Structure 1
Amino acid sequence: MLNKLLLLALSILIGFMIISQVPVWAVDLNHGEEIFSIHCAGCHPNGSNIIRRGKNLKLKALQKNKVDSLEAIAALVTNGKNNMSAYSDRLTPEEIQAVSVYVLEQAQNNWTK
């Protein structure tokens, strides 16, 4: 009986964890664009990079630098790296997710709207 109860509780917990995740398609892309224009466009206009050319946001560069997934982009935005500032103290996790989705989508579309 205890095993069945434990299994049920574990199943409910796993189910809750799965359904509580925000799906990528639910992120407001307009909000991501707004966040990008406020916090990122100064150094990354149209996906370029005014500080270090090779560290731009074009898909080829993202792939070369192994930052071509939502998780990798979000980690970079959150923690920063080298010249890139960390934004964990300025953006909420939802805002980081929104701007990451926006960056990846723009990169996949070659930064053309």
Structure 2
Amino acid sequence: MDGWRRWALALLALLLMGWVLWPRPALGLETAAVPRTLESRGASLFAQHCVGCHLNGGNVIRRGKTLRLAALKRAGLEGAEAMARVAAHGQGQMAGYGAVMGEDGAQAVGAWVWEQALADWPKAEQKITKEPS
């Protein structure tokens, strides 16, 4: 093989290896620039920090202290701001999560929780229709 062809082939192989091995941004970094809605951020933060005790708006620690609309009204908690205040600072035995939710995280969770309470905490299984018998 001629000398210049050997060099051209080596250069082509080097360029191909560089293209294949060049680091690409992580999947999470690509989506981080996309602005998220308040609702999706609230749902995500709720899933990360709250669902362990408040699955489907319930309460596995204190049965009567749920996130259902009637229970919230009994506790004097009405509106997204009240929910955000409890999420950030806690209430009673519940600790606050404002520091771990980040800036405006409590507001996002509060808005999402209040929306779910108004909708009576819809569940995915309620959307499934029965098959005809």
Normalised-by-shorter TM-score class: 0.7 to 0.9
Q: Decide which structure has the larger Cα Rg and report it.
A: 2
How many angstroms apart in 1 are the aligned matches of 2:98 and 2:71? 23
1:28 is matched with which residue? 38
- Paired residue total: 88
The DSSP-based 3-state class of the residue aligned with 1:33 is helix
Cα deviation 1:86-110 (Å, max 9, x = unaligned): 1122122411111101000000000
The DSSP-based 3-state class of the residue aligned with 1:73 is helix
Structural RMSD (CA): 1.6
How many angstroms apart in 2 are the aligned matches of 1:88 and 1:94? 9
From 81, 90, 111, the counterpart of 1:80: 90
Q: Does 1:43 align with 2:53?
A: yes
Higher relative contact order (CA 8 A, sep 6+): 1
From 99, 114, 122, the counterpart of 1:89: 99
8 Å CA contact 2:84, 2:108 repeated in 1: no
The DSSP-based 3-state class of the residue aligned with 2:64 is helix
**Shift, 1:69, TM fit:** 1.3
Structure 1 unaligned segments of length 5 or more: list them.
Answer: 1-25
How many angstroms apart in 2 are the aligned matches of 1:112 and 1:61? 16
Cα deviation 1:20-71 (Å, max 9, x = unaligned): xxxxxx9521111110011000000000000001110000001110112122
8 Å CA contact 1:27, 1:101 repeated in 2: no
2:118 is matched with which residue? 108
Q: 1:48 to 1:41 in 2, by over 3 A?
A: same
Which amino acid counterpart does residue 57 of structure 2 have in structure 1?
G
8 Å CA contact 1:74, 1:100 repeated in 2: yes
How many angstroms apart in 2 are the aligned matches of 1:62 and 1:70? 11
8 Å CA contact 1:54, 1:61 repeated in 2: yes
